[in-house]
Structure 1
Amino acid sequence: MVTISSVAIGLNTVWVLLCAALVFLMEAGFAALEAGFIHSRNSLNIIMKVLMDCTVGIIGYFICGFAIMYGADEAGLIGISGFLVQGDFSHLNLSVPVYAFWLFQAAFAIAMATIVSGAVAERMKFAPYIIFSLLATVLIYPLAGHWVWSSGGWLNKMGMLDFAGSAVVHALGGWAALAAVTVLGPRTGRFGKDGAITVMPGHNLPLAALGAFILWFGWFGFNPGSTLSGLDLNIAKIAVNTNLSAAMGGTIAALLTLFRYGKADPSMVINGALGGLVAITAGCAYVEPVSALIIGAFAGILIVIAVPLLDKLHFDDPVGAVAVHGVCGTFGTIAVGLFAEKSGLFYGGGVHLLFVQTIGVIAVSALGYSLTYALFRALKATVGIRVTEEDEIVGLDLSEHGIAAYNDLEYSPLKSLQHFSIQEPAKVKNEDISPA
């Protein structure tokens, strides 16, 4: 018998499955973005790493990641039931089948792992990356998600608000990326002993821009889909806030680079829009559209500051993952404590929520950084995490997979070595570095 209740459940299920597909499509955006931001000789390798996030990551999250994240828990630290998505999940009070909820969350899990793939591009071995991807979706992301989103999590009990994951997905992934970069080290020739920075521009910025558009599109599943209900009329405001913050982030990045360098920098505009998306993800359901514009504006400013700053500090992040996800994710989480309607500081709510948001994002970021740092140190001491200098020069497409991404090019190891030795990229001092 068809009832109003069964129709509502059906509509909500279709909504969540559709949004899960949109979030999964973001992996295509990540792949295109990261491939475009790096050398052509490594573009197939980075796509393979994103594919591994989708393969081993989904399997790992099914076997035990979901249980650690949403299983029953008395201490508020880790779930201990629901492995293989079996058992009683009544404590979640879901309005959709648990499998629909799992699929949606699985797409989030692999997105968190993929954030790190871009930061370690062009010099990390393929096999150790698979180990990281598995552990990220089995343990690192589920732990953070349990703390914030599970009803038993200690940050959830404190009242932390992170609607769709500025902290749980983005700050976690961004600071995990910084830990990975710290252990892995920069690409060969990236930084000189005299402080010079070698500019290594991406081989295909139109491809990177296409990736950004796909990510932006997928975010309409990422944020509105987190309502888990197609009947929740708040999805309209969530979608508007998401769009406004992205637009303002990209606009501010364009204007600032135009003013500072005389030309609008495409890579900064791309990352400015993505930074706006990341920053609004925590508060998209809690803030007004005008606040979303302000949050996006600050995200654009932070991108223009953070990208060259990380270069000056000699952290080699080819795609800007730390700036986009770590910096903007942290800011967006804290911004909820300022701009949330009724409970934010600027809306008469006092400092309590701001304090909770700050404690929460610090805890989640520390979790991501420390676990990733420990894992990469362990991998470095055992199987090794870095390709040889010769393999790095030849390119990871050939050295790790035995095939080039662009087979119409005369792409031999010998010619790659000759090209590297004859044509050195331009070098500039720290104070003269452009974010390109």
Structure 2
Amino acid sequence: MPEIALMDNLWIMICAVLVLFMQGGFILLEAGSTRMKNAGHIAGKTIFTVGIASLVYWAVGWGFAYGEGNLFIGLSDFFYGDYSTAEEGLVGSVDFFFQMMFAAIALTIAFGGFAERAKLSVYIIFAVLFSAFVYPIVSHWIWGDGWLAELGKQDFAGSTVVHLTGAMAALAATILLKPRLGKFNKDGSSNDLAGHNQVYTALGVMILWVGWFGFNAGSTLEVADAFFGYVALNTQLAAGAGAVAAMFIVWAVSGKADVPTMLNGALAGLVAITASCAFVAPWAAVVIGLIAGLIVYASMRFFDKAKIDDPIFALSVHGVAGIWGTISTGFFATQELADMVGGRAGLFYGGGFTQLGVQIVSVVACGLFAFVASYILLKVTGAITGGLRVSEEEEIVGLDLSEHGSYGYPENMPGQGTNTGA
């Protein structure tokens, strides 16, 4: 294998591990954003659902996403086992492992809409169904030479494929599960069911931020010309702009620089730039991140007023910011950068409305498919498990105890501590 091909494969393996480590960020983010009585459950279910996603993606997901088939679904390469080497480019198993990590991230995003009220059995069954039938089909449409790829859809690292798909599944879940006990009052007002550890949440965001360079910069799939550095620059600028914009808007409106809002602003900037990081100039990355930071705050308020209970703000961070990020390439993609992948320039660079129209079509098509498919699959799951939601008593006690038999923080919970003496 030539040295440049060896470097390509090493680079993508490192990036795949970075994306896998993002799951640690999600554990801290989701656990910190919810109540103490559910922390152990959140950590545990993330681990085993990543395991389920890996097995299902190996068995059928990759085949539906990248197998030979038609414009809508792949129909080959199931139970992936390619161990061959390549004279140039990526070895098949390296490419597979990288894409498997993206599938696992999409599932973890989807589970944000389940937090603090879904049965453990529901996580298990939906993990299988989503990893087999929802995520792979969307990724085939865009990354697997499907019908949206034919139209020229631009989604460099997954604002649509990963983030919007996961968020629409989360929306279906939170609608079917209904709000957590005590979230909304009879008069329509909402209560702040504050997460138990903002430090965990902030550390989770920081881990995700670092892992995102595997996500975005790794999507170059090569080290030639070190273009991954440019992608990383745009990623960093958008994340910083999102954090700053969210902090200032919540400060201006509420008089307090709310910590969860600024953290969600950073994540929104990262989600938004994921589609366009290889297509836009640095100044545009800043604008994309700034707008993402503003709209994530507005979106959080909107869903709260609409009585949609989204404990970790997956709908706003991954859904709304994912939509904005997808559409932004239709405005800001430069012809020079788009030419590198055979694409079209955006509206502001003389490309007219063509690319913008393709991006909007992709948002509508993928968003509707992910929502409707997830809604149906959750209905099926509920029929199998006798309902999606734990009982009121189990929800009050917490999923740590009701589903796992022990608390994530046993020394802080009544009757669970161990007296070790002075």
Q: TM-score range by the shorter chain?
A: over 0.9
Structure 1 residue 243: deviation in Å?
0.3
Contact 2:49 2:123 (C-alpha < 8 Å) held by counterparts: no
Contact 1:82 1:89 (C-alpha < 8 Å) held by counterparts: no
Aligned partner of 1:361 among 318, 341, 363: 363
Letter matched to residue 205 of structure 2: A
Q: Judging changes above 3 Å, is the alpha-carbon distance between structure 1 residues 322 and 412 closer, same or farther for their aligned structure 2 residues?
A: farther
Aligned partner of 1:27 among 18, 23, 46: 23
Q: TM-score, normalised by structure 2?
A: 0.94
Cα separation, 2, equivalents of 1:278 and 1:128: 27
Moved more, 376-385 or 31-40: 376-385
Aligned partner of 1:68 among 64, 67, 71: 64
Structure 1 residue 25: deviation in Å?
0.4
Cα separation, 2, equivalents of 1:93 and 1:164: 25
Aligned partner of 1:295 among 283, 288, 307: 288
SS at match of 1:196: coil
Letter matched to residue 118 of structure 1: G
Contact 2:64 2:137 (C-alpha < 8 Å) held by counterparts: yes
SS at match of 1:380: helix
Contact 1:404 1:411 (C-alpha < 8 Å) held by counterparts: no
State whether structure 2 residue 382 is matched by structure 1 residue 387: no
**Residue segments in structure 1 that go unaligned for 5+ positions in a row:** 414-436
The equivalent residue for 1:398 is 401
The equivalent residue for 2:350 is 348
The equivalent residue for 1:214 is 207
**Residue segments in structure 2 that go unaligned for 5+ positions in a row:** 336-344, 417-422
Can you list the C-alpha shifts for 1:288-312, whole angstroms capped at 9, x where unaligned?
A: 0000000001100111100011011
The equivalent residue for 2:79 is 84
Can you list the C-alpha shifts for 1:43-96, whole angstroms capped at 9, x where unaligned?
A: 1111122112211110100111011100002x3011001011147999x99811
Equivalences for residues 19-418 of structure 1 within 5 A: 19-73=15-69, 75-86=70-81, 95-151=89-145, 153-342=146-335, 343-383=345-385, 384-412=387-415
Cα separation, 1, equivalents of 2:110 and 2:190: 22
Q: Judging changes above 3 Å, is the alpha-carbon distance between structure 1 residues 325 and 348 closer, same or farther for their aligned structure 2 residues?
A: same
SS at match of 1:346: helix
Cα separation, 1, equivalents of 2:262 and 2:133: 33
Cα separation, 2, equivalents of 1:108 and 1:166: 11
Cα separation, 2, equivalents of 1:102 and 1:328: 27
Letter matched to residue 77 of structure 2: G
SS at match of 1:83: coil
Cα separation, 1, equivalents of 2:88 and 2:244: 39
Cα separation, 2, equivalents of 1:353 and 1:34: 35
Letter matched to residue 79 of structure 2: L
Letter matched to residue 17 of structure 1: M
Letter matched to residue 139 of structure 2: G
SS at match of 2:79: helix
Contact 1:49 1:117 (C-alpha < 8 Å) held by counterparts: no
Q: TM-score, normalised by structure 1?
A: 0.91
Contact 1:38 1:122 (C-alpha < 8 Å) held by counterparts: yes
Letter matched to residue 401 of structure 1: H
Letter matched to residue 197 of structure 2: N
The equivalent residue for 2:341 is none
Cα separation, 2, equivalents of 1:396 and 1:264: 31
Letter matched to residue 68 of structure 2: A
Structure 1 residue 379: deviation in Å?
2.0
Q: Judging changes above 3 Å, is the alpha-carbon distance between structure 1 residues 27 and 54 closer, same or farther for their aligned structure 2 residues?
A: same
Contact 1:71 1:89 (C-alpha < 8 Å) held by counterparts: no
Cα separation, 2, equivalents of 1:138 and 1:242: 30
Cα separation, 2, equivalents of 1:33 and 1:391: 23
SS at match of 2:308: coil
